[in-house]
Structure 1
Amino acid sequence: MVGVLIRYNRRNGDRVVKVFDGPNGYLDASRDRGFLRDMGKIGTDWEVAVIGSDSLETVKRTHSRYFSGHDRTRELEARFS
């Protein structure tokens, strides 16, 4: 089981993805305060989604719109921590 925390820019499709592995993956993702806390500070074009699934690959299939733009995880992860 994994929990996937996604920041998604509705305007341009950019995303930041953080994956939490293990039996409590979804709970860990939903409790990541550092990632969620700063969400409102970067603009209203961004949304947050917390998704529980058997794998990241499944999330990519079932929630494909979140994976249509550029992956900005490495560029922006310092900003969100």
Structure 2
Amino acid sequence: MPSKLDPHIAVIEGWLAEQPQLTALAIVCRLSEKYPEDFGPTQHSIVQRLLRVLRRKTVKQLLARERLADAKVAAPLPGLWTARAM
């Protein structure tokens, strides 16, 4: 079942990129200002769940970047690359 938040995920991710410390309550408040008929205090728990997912995703991406930066480039195997004669 689609979430009420699905159309707003990109906006929420943008807010979090600018202010990673935003709480679910702050996000609900922002959404309720823009869409008062759709968002209010009762959506707090679904925003909390979404934040958990988005923050885990961000941590995984950061860890993956860190691992790539720490990875050493292996030398090519002999015979795989040949020098062009000039």
> Which is bigger in relative contact order (C-alpha 8 A, separation at least 6)?
1
Structure whose alpha-carbon radius of gyration is higher? 2
Please, what TM-score do these two structures have when normalized by structure 1?
Answer: 0.30
Q: TM-score, normalised by structure 2?
A: 0.29
